[in-house]
Amino acid sequence: MDAQTPELDTLSFEDALRELETIVRQLESGEVPLEDSISLYEKGEKLRQHCQKRLDAAQARIEKIVTGPDGTPVSTQPFDTPER
């Protein structure tokens, strides 16, 4: 990351996604020199991995609804806990 970019671990999902979107726009414009494109791509990949890590962590915390035999909700359980 460059001097203007906060450390990756301190970026929120939203901030990292905004940075990633900016990089994608720059790369799609076709106006970035090859060497800069490679650097931007590498930075974008790090941001993508960071966003994926944040999404995976959020998904692990989601609770899913457990339904009874008639389809009505009976309880909730952590997303990663298998149904009984």
Contact of 10 with 19, CB cutoff 8 Å:
no
Lowest mean pLDDT among 32-36, 45-49, 72-76: 72-76
For residues 64 and 9, give the distance between their C-alpha atoms in angstroms, rounded to a whole number: 28
Query: In 1-84, where does DSSP find H-type helix?
Result: 13-29, 34-61
* Averaged pLDDT, 48-58: 92
The domains found in the chain, sorted by start residue, are 8-78 (1.10.287)
Residue 33: the pLDDT is 97
* pLDDT higher than threshold 60 for residue 75: yes
Sort residue 73 into left (φ over 0), alpha (ψ -120 to 50) or beta. Answer: beta
Residue 70: the pLDDT is 78
Q: Report the chain's terminal Cα–Cα distance, integer Å.
A: 45
